[in-house]
A and B are shown apart, each in its own frame.
Chain A
């Protein structure tokens, strides 16, 4: 490994066009020293990794593949290493997106990403309520900030799926172990978002000291 991350470090995957300042600022306010990386070895093994993303699905996938980050992220998920995927970061974990037809996603979440109905005001922009499933310890029934035009409709049953209503229900967050993928932006969701990132981080750090 080119870098040897210590237990308290959190790495942010550079996804190309994404603006990372808000994620960096949010983690810094939580007392972390976030570092931005494009190194697949770090992404595979670091104790805590955030996959942010704004911009287009196709461009983000091209960037991830070019740097070998697609395999690193898949490997990380296979090894049950913690991951926080945000907005487009959640979408690239899926199989495909109507935003960029013909481009394959990472296939971690076995579902396609579809555009909201043309009858709605899109982007879905602003604060909306989360309806977490029973037994979700990370996601709480709170309002979070969204800014997106595409969303996950159905997610298979082995994921804990949080839903939100906008012209019908969509998957606003999915969880499995220390993998948390959010369609909303916890880094822009004030105190509630800050607390959610804090819960994910504590769980991520807990897992690193336990054999799993």
Chain B
């Protein structure tokens, strides 16, 4: 049986892992290579690295970070952040990423997804969607771009379906409302997207405890992304998997 996946996320800026609330107030959380190796040893199923560089110099550092994480990491590595064209994706794949996350650039020009899928294969193209409640409707979400700073009139559920049709092989679905708030995943968002697409969905944003992760799986997520819950050392990946396993969720142990 295919197991549910736990994916620790490293937000990386200038060669260091950082963590903030709603992409603001960043604090240092450690060395990316050390953390990636530690999470693999704890039983992580994959690692995601989000490059949140603010400058071209920092962006160049991020490529080196990907290469150094790759050298130690024996499980899949997804890298996102700053991918504007297919050549950016190629650069990250060459540096050692197994999958590449596309966000703002794909919203602005959806053809980027098909260009990347044709060149590299759908299985390594992840559409990263930052979704915030919107349209004055509790069951609708709008897509945010540029690290959540900019609103768009795009419906997040419709965008996920379109991205699938354009060749995305997976959805990384981040609730902008919940990200960094430690109030649990946005389960209705997770449920809405998971039932709108037939590609795997990774829930992200808001995890504080193993119960939140269990709830995301019950809402239809195939995998979960979490950062601070692991960075703070409150729970290890193994703790979370033990809890899930005890609650009937099939995980790799």
Contacts and interface: CB of A to CB of B under 8 A. Distances in A.
Interface in A83-121: 88, 118, 120-121
Contacts of B2: 124-128, 146, 166
A128 B3 contact: yes
Nearest to A54: B121
Contacts of A200: none
Contact count band on B:
35 or more
A206 interface: no
Contact of B121 (A21, A22, A56): A56
Contacts of A118: 198
Nearest to B77: A22
B96 A56 contact: no
Given A128-B2, A166-B2, A188-B98, A19 B120 contact: yes
B72 to A, nearest CB: 8
Contact of B199 (A25, A122, A127): A122
Contact of B122 (A22, A149, A187, A190): A149
A54 B125 CA distance: 12
A80 to B, nearest CB: 29
A126 B76 CA distance: 9
Nearest to B73: A25
A54 B123 contact: yes
Given A22-B70, A28-B71, A145-B75, A121 B120 contact: no
Most buried by A among B40, B74, B121, B222: B121
A193 B74 contact: yes
16 contacts: A19-B93, A19-B98, A19-B120, A21-B70, A22-B98, A54-B123, A123-B170, A125-B123, A125-B169, A125-B222, A126-B5, A129-B1, A147-B124, A188-B75, A190-B40, A190-B74
Interface of A: 17, 19, 21-22, 25-26, 28-29, 54-56, 88, 118, 120-129, 143, 145-149, 165-166, 185, 187-191, 193-194
